Each structure stands twice: as structure tokens, then as C-alpha cells.
Amino acid sequence: MSDITVYQPDFLFAEGRFHEGRALAVGADGRVLDAVPEGARVERLAGRALLPGLVNGHSHAFQRLIRGRTEYVASAGGQDDFWSWREAMYRAAEALTPEEIHVASRQVFLEMVLAGITTVGEFHYLHHQSDGTPYADRNALAHAVIRAATDVGLRICLLRVGYARAGFNVPANPRQRRFIDADVDTFLSTTEALAHATRGDARVNVGLAPHSVRAVSRDWLTQVARAAPAGMPIHMHVAEQPKEIEACLAEHGRRPVELVSDVGLLGPRFTAVHGVHLTEDEVALLGRAQATVCACPSTERNLGDGIVPADALVKAGARVSFGSDSQTVVDLLDEARQLEQHLRLVRLRRAVLDPGTGTLDGLAARLFDMATVQGARSLGMGTGTLSPGSPADFFTVDVNHPSLVGAGATSLLPGIVFGAAGGAVREV
């Protein structure tokens, strides 16, 4: 039994709530066992609450390099917005060597682990050399990012991005040369090659990510919908900025979610990243498809994007997950609390996403489910829960930390989701 470890925290999160006096048994294969066997090695975690690892559904790892370097108006008398920020991001993207991409990714992935994140979805669009020439291995940079994640013990879904153009009726932007694939067949075959190369590694999954309606044509989207391997996650930036919607209407006469639905991409394995500027009809389409919307509140507030209408999405039947996106901060619990608190500002009431259970921890449980179960679902990963047979990916918090002291079994989850300081996270 020495190859089985039983973790005994003060509080164990299972079946959607905390339990006192329960333990987590983990087999030699790193998976959760359905019972605590006699004679197993016991590791007491006194003063700790143990929870399933957080799932970061949307990340651009290299953007960690520009944290704190874009918080000003660059031109006298001008203004700063998403589009001016994007140019600063492009300058960083075009300057990085493969080794620098690996180091930068490893640094932010370590930051994620220290925040209790155990799985990340990396929306990866740095593919080529600085002049746009493909590497001999077209997935060289993807492998560098995957290696960075596994170096620090993080599971990763590498969402390989398809990028074809600067936009509708927009001239080519030389700063996007590292992103552009020659055609949709190259994008699909290169993604399949990456999936084949990582097959059998339980730490790695691969998904398809047509970047946005700006960056790819309707024909690209149609072919991705037809050719995507069964079960492979599909992620896409959707309705982040009003200009994106205006361009989509000009080119297609359809809004972004309507276009995605028309071409057959919308479904349970589709994740719309951001989904800020949605009509009621688009919300209904996402709900009927049981698609996921990955909200990234820290980035959406930093870039002035707007607020994800998560209350309407949940009511319609869509799923919601969270991402750190531009790495303005790396704190998925903060993403969860800010989504709710942003909605309070615009709805002018409290507990907007409360499920109506009448319990103290109902709202916190819904937000934590988004930060774990729904994120894992959107990435096609079997994480986000500590049910029997699942990977035993977990983190602990110090229940005696000043930000949590005094919490009991029923108030602990709301205390963690709405008030825990980053220093409360301990073992991962």
C-alpha cells in the first residue's frame, strides 16, 4: 500500500461542497481512488482545505512580458484602447526567440501553479520565425510552450491558432507574420501533427483555434467545422470588440455568433472566448448549442472591452469558464469574483449569478464550478474535479490565513472565492 497516499486535510471539497473529516486517496497512477484503503501512507494536512485544481481556460503566455509596460497613453492628446494595446503586444511577439518564448511561458506557468491552477488552455499563435518563415518543424514553438508547462507540472491544452489575414479589407500587417498559415489545409494538418506527436501524454491535449472572424474567412471556418477531429476542442475569440462585429456585418451580413452557427462550428465543444458584445439572439444560440463562453474579466477590464453577460448566458443554457488571457494578473479566483462583481455594477444589485438555492455557498459553488469543471470541459481535459478515477490535481488553502480565519464548513467556499488573498494558496 506504500504506493497509495491518503491526504487528510481539515476540509475536503467534494460533491460541490466542503466536508470535515474526509480524506483523499490517490493511487500510484496519480488518480483518485473511490475508497481509503487500510495501510496506505497518510499525509496529514493540518490547517488546510483541499480543493480540485483550477482550470485556466484561455492564456496567451508570452503576453506576461508586457505586464506593466502598456499602462499609459502613448501619444499626446490621444487615447489608449484595445487596438493601441495590440500594437505594443505585437512588438513583443515579433522580438522573441524560441528559447525566450519557452522561458517567458515557463515563468507565467509557474505563476499559475502558485495560484492553484493545474490545467491551462494556451491559445497559441506564435508559429514562425520573425520574418514569417516557417521553422523546419512547424510546431517548434508549440512544443516549446508545452515543454514550459510540463516543466512546472502544469497540464496544458495547446489550442493551435489559425490566422490567415489582418482583417476584412485590411492590408497585411507585417507584425502578424509570425501568426499566418499559408492556407487552412496547412493549419489543419499542422494541428493534427501536433496532436499525433503528443498523443499518449496525459498532461497534454490539443485543440483547434481559428483566431477570430477578423483573422480568418468564412471558407476557413467552414472547412474547420468539416475537418475537425471528433472530440477535439474548438476555441475562438468572439465578440470582444465592437469593431469586430462591424467588420463581420460588413463582410458577411451576420454577427460573429450567427456566422459561427451558420458554418456548423457551434456546439458543446465550441468555446467563444470573451463573448462580451452579444445580442439576445446570439446568447440564445450559444445556450441551445451548450457552448462555453470563456470570460477573462481581468483582461476585459484592462483593455476596456466590456462585461460578459454571464447571467443571460447561464440562463440560456450556455456554460461559462475563466481565463487569465493577457496575464494582467494571474488569479483565477479573482477572475471569478470580478465576473460577479462587474455584473453587480451594471445590474445594480447583488448576487447576480446566485443559482437560487437559498444556501450560503450556492453562488460561490457556481463560480468555483466555472473555474474548475467548466474550464476542464471546454478544454477536453478530465480535470477540475476530485471524483474517483479523475487525476488528483489539487491545491490547498491555509484556513488560518488572515483572509480566511474564522470561516467554517459552510462559509469557507464563499470566503475563498470572494475574499482569499493569493498568499492563502499553499500546496499544489
368-382 pLDDT, tens digit per residue, is 999 999 999 999 999
pLDDT value, residue 2: 67
Q: Determine what percent of the chain is predicted with pLDDT higher than 90.
A: 89
Q: Quick check: 7 pLDDT over 70? A: yes
pLDDT score of 85: 72
Q: Residue 351: left if φ>0, alpha if ψ -120 to 50, beta else—which one?
A: left
**Lookup result for grid cell 490545467:** 119
Stretch 391-398: mean pLDDT: 98
Lowest mean pLDDT among 73-82, 152-161, 389-398: 73-82
| pLDDT given for residue 77 in this prediction | 64
What is the pTM for the complete model shown? 0.96
Phi/psi zone of residue 288: left (φ > 0), alpha (ψ -120 to 50 degrees), beta? alpha
pLDDT at 190 over 90: yes
Q: Tell me which of 10, 325, 334, 398 is the catalytic residue.
A: 325
CATH number reported for the structural domain that contains residue 313 in this entry: 3.20.20.140
Query: Is the same domain home to 373 and 327?
Result: yes
325 is catalytic: yes
User: Percentage of the chain surpassing pLDDT 70?
Assistant: 99
Query: Does the annotation count 274 as an active-site position?
Result: yes
Mean pLDDT, rounded, for 329-341: 98
- Catalytic site residue from 58, 127, 274, 401: 274
Q: What are the tens digits of pLDDT across the range 410-420? A: 999 999 999 99
Indicate whether 290 pLDDT > 70.
yes
The count of structural domains within the chain is: 2
Q: Examine the domain organization and report whether 95 and 237 are in the same domain.
A: yes
Cell numbers representing residue 286 in the block:
450559444
Q: Could you tell me if 369 and 408 lie in one domain?
A: no
| pLDDT score of 1 more than 60 | no
Q: Assess whether 33 and 168 both reside in one domain.
A: no
Quick one: average pLDDT of 28-37?
94
User: Is 310 in the same domain as 415?
Assistant: no
Mean pLDDT of 219-234: 97
Any idea what the CATH number is for the domain that residue 18 is in? 2.30.40.10
* Cα maximum dimension of the chain: 71
Confidence band, pLDDT 50/70/90 cuts, at residue 89: confident
Residues 168-189 pLDDT 10s: 999 999 889 999 999 999 999 9
| Residues 13 and 76 grouped into a single domain | no
Domain check: are 33 and 70 in the same one?
no
pLDDT of residue 79: 75
Range of the domain at 417: 5-51+387-427
Residue 93 and residue 194 in one domain: yes
* Last residue within a domain, chosen from 344, 362, 379: 379
Do residue 14 and residue 150 come from a single domain?
no
224 and 126 in a single domain? The answer is yes
At residue 76, does pLDDT exceed 70? no
Written as nine digits, the cell of 27 is 493511487
| Mean pLDDT (the chain, rounded) | 95
| Residue labelled with grid coordinates 499525433 | 196
CB 381 within 8 A of CB 55: yes
pLDDT at 375: 98
Same domain for 93 and 31: no
**Position 69 confidence tier, pLDDT thresholds 50, 70, 90:** confident
Residues 327 and 404 reside in one and the same domain: no
Answer for the pair 109, 122: CB distance below 8 angstroms, yes or no.
Answer: no
Cβ-contact 428, 53 below 8 angstroms: yes
Residue with cell 464550478: 369
E strands, 131-176, where? Answer: 155-162
